[in-house]
Amino acid sequence: MDSINQQSPKNQNKPEVDEKNIKRSTSFRDDALRRFKKNPTAIIGLIIVFLFFFMAVFGPYLTPFDPFQQDIINAHQPPGGENILGTDFFGRDVLSRIIFGARISLLVGVTVVVLRAAIGIIIGLIAGYFGGWIESILMRIVDAFISFPGILLAMAIMAVRGQGIENVIIALAIVGWPTFARLVRSEVISIKEREYIQATRSLGFHSGKIMFQHILPNCLATIIVYGTMGIATPILAEAGLSFLGLGATPTQATWGFQMSLERQYMRTAWWGVTFPGLAVMIVVLGFNLLGDGLRDVLDPRMKE
pLDDT in tens, 173-188: 998 899 999 999 999 9
Instruction: Give the model's pLDDT for residue 301.
Output: 55
Q: What is the mean pLDDT of residues 119-146?
A: 91
Q: What SS3 class is residue 83?
A: strand
Please, which pLDDT band fits residue 26 given cuts at 50, 70 and 90?
A: low
Residue 159 has pLDDT above 50, yes or no: yes
Residue 5 has pLDDT above 80, yes or no: no
Residue 265 has pLDDT above 70, yes or no: yes
Please, which pLDDT band fits residue 302 given cuts at 50, 70 and 90?
A: low
Residue 286 has pLDDT above 80, yes or no: yes
* CA 93, chain centre distance (Å): 29
Q: Tell me, what DSSP letter sits at residue 78?
A: P
Partnered with residue 93 across adjacent β-strands are: 87
Q: What are 70-129's pLDDT values in tens digits?
A: 888 988 999 988 889 999 989 999 999 999 999 999 999 999 999 999 999 999 999 998
Please, which pLDDT band fits residue 3 given cuts at 50, 70 and 90?
A: very low
- b (16+ CB within 10 A) / e for 274-286: bbbbebbeebbbb
Write the CA distances from 105 to 37, 91, 129, 203, integer angstroms: 28, 23, 35, 48
Q: What's the start-to-end Cα distance of the chain, in Å?
A: 52
Given a contact cutoff of 8 angstroms between Cβ atoms, the answer to whether 299 and 118 are in contact is: no
Mean pLDDT of the chain: 84
pTM, full prediction: 0.83
